């Protein structure tokens, strides 16, 4: 597989967990170091890519269920949004 050019400031010689996860999911946003370490993990725990796909599917189902209930936005505490007790975890009903 030919390597594409990485965005400036990204060290593609060092594996990153997000890009390894992307590789396990069959994505394209990963590089040789990510695939090499990802494969070593798969060699130790062969079910890892399947588990990653199952996790992604669960997250999609959970997000759809929450959206059906009318919750469409989650504010992150790190962003500085004020916490309101009536809205646990920053979830807002729209």
pLDDT tens for residues 9-43? 889 999 999 999 999 999 999 999 999 999 999 99
DSSP H helices, the chain, are 17-24, 32-44, 48-68
**Whole-number pLDDT of residue 78:** 47
Confidence at residue 3, expressed as pLDDT on a 0 to 100 scale: 72
Spatial distance between the Cα atoms of 28 and 5, rounded to a whole number of angstroms: 12
Residue 15 neighbours by CB distance under 10 Å: 20
> What confidence tens digit (pLDDT) does each residue in 44-93 have?
999 999 999 999 999 999 999 988 888 766 654 445 444 454 555 555 55
Taking the model in full, what pTM does it have?
Answer: 0.68
């Amino acid at each position: 597989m030919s390597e594409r050019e990485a965005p400036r400031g990204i060290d593609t010689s060092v594996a990153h967990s997000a890009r390894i996860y992307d590789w396990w999911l069959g994505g394209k946003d990963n590089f040789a170091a990510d695939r090499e370490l990802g494969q070593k993990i798969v060699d130790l725990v062969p079910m890892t890519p399947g588990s990653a796909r199952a996790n992604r599917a669960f997250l999609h189902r959970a997000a759809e269920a929450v959206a059906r209930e009318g919750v469409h936005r989650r504010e992150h505490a790190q962003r500085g949004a004020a916490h309101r007790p009536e809205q646990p975890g920053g979830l807002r009903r729209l």
